[in-house]
Amino acid sequence: MAEKGGHQLSQSPRFPAEVWEHIFKFATHVPCTLVPELYEKSECIGDQRSALEAALATKRNLVLVCRWWQRMEMRYLYRVVLIRTGRDILALDHTLQNYAAGNGSFVGMRSPGHWTRRLDITLDFSNESECEDPDRCVKRLAGVIQFLPKLEIVSFAITGDLGSEPNIIPLSVIDALRSSAKSLCILDWSRYNFFPQLHQLEELLRDLPNLRVLRCRELVWADGIIPSSILSSLTTLAVDRLVERMGHPGEGVSHEACISLREFVYYCNYRELPREFIIRYGEYLTTAEWCSTDSPCFDKGLDLLHNSCPNLDRLIFSLPSFSHQYHLAPLERWSFPRVSYIGVKSTALTFQELFRFLAHLRNTVPTLRVFQLIRRRAVEELVQWSSKVSTEAIMKNLDESPFRVEDDEGNLLSDRLLGRSEPVRSRH
């Protein structure tokens, strides 16, 4: 194309392929969604999906620019795979089958499944518009997983059911996961539907030698001992319930095994404490998260952690509120372990409750260095009511504490409440 006067338009600058790859990576990157960064944020897997969907939209726009960009973008387009509908499964299965048969879009190029590191499955079997034939979807899902041999993260968040056994995942899908046995590091099976039978899960875990993070509904342990083949690599365990089976085949006592477990997350949905587990493995834990919806469970859980976890350094807990209407024990009876970090996931918190709680921590946890309000909603409500609290009261209770008091983003809470600029973010 020529400009007026006969002059040619200058061509777009040509960059080396490596430069374009860095541009693609920067344009589609979502922090803390892949290994190893996700090890520190594994509890946020479900919260990351909206950001991953936005990044996927950007990737699809990039590959539509031209065929050359499509080829270069391939590894970034398929690095994180999101399966949200039955159509997603069918389309992905078709693509992977074509490459396996040598009929891919780019002849001689390896299958895009080779680049996939994370797989998030959020199917809704109860929604016919998303998944018309659940049985067919599951069969194709097993085939898709087999074509992803280097998966590091797999997350199941499936709703609906398959009929007679709504909570049981077909064995074909479990077997397909073994295709990535050596690379799989994070397995999130925290939803209630599409969950394996307990013995199937245990057998699968024995075949995953590098699994670091496991989130699941239930886990079997034998006579108070979780098989060493699981705990030798597992650093984070998050469960709703530990199912103890007396006489279940064990693997010796815990002190004879190599135990890597450092973080334990317990969802107290069943109102029963994992007392024997904490007593046996508490000495190894450096981080504990108590996600209680039952106040007595929370109070007793604090005592258990205080008495059985001498090396605990980080404590995170969830409560709907600090209000007495939730039948909490008096604050003076709360016995916190001597940790350096406490994170609170509460959605309802008044200034009076916050100031009273901080005063209690100042008097009882001399090792504390950081206190954080993790829930954005709780912080935003405090900001909304901050005009009714004097600046002097905020500074006295927050800035004059011997430990940092932070908001959900890791900035000083007092800066957020008083509208001070240039917040300093913590690196805990």
Query: What are the mean pLDDT values of the chain's consecutive 10-residue runs (428 residues total)?
Result: 44 64 75 79 72 78 71 78 86 87 72 90 69 74 92 85 63 91 90 78 89 88 71 88 66 62 82 83 93 68 90 89 56 85 86 88 93 90 86 86 91 87 56
At 309 the pLDDT is 95
C-alpha distances (whole Å) from 140 to each of 79, 270, 425 are 20, 35, 45
What is the per-residue pLDDT for 274? 84
For residues 382 and 355, the answer to whether their CB atoms sit within 8 Å is no
* pLDDT given for residue 348 in this prediction: 76
Closest CA to 317 of 357, 260, 359, 284: 357
Which DSSP category does 328 fall into? P
The pLDDT value recorded for residue 341 is: 97
Q: Write down the pLDDT at residue 39.
A: 76
Strand ranges across the sheet with 153-156 = 80-83, 118-121, 153-156, 186-189, 213-222, 236-245, 263-267, 287-291, 314-318, 341-345, 370-373, 404-406
**pTM for the structure as a whole:** 0.83
pLDDT of 283: 94
Cα separation, 184 vs 177, whole angstroms: 9
The answer to whether residues 107 and 137 touch, using CB atoms and an 8 Å cutoff, is no
CB 354 within 8 A of CB 394: no
What is the number of residues in the chain? 428
CA–centroid distance for 180 within its chain: 19
Residue whose entry in the numeric block shows the structure tokens 């065929």: 67
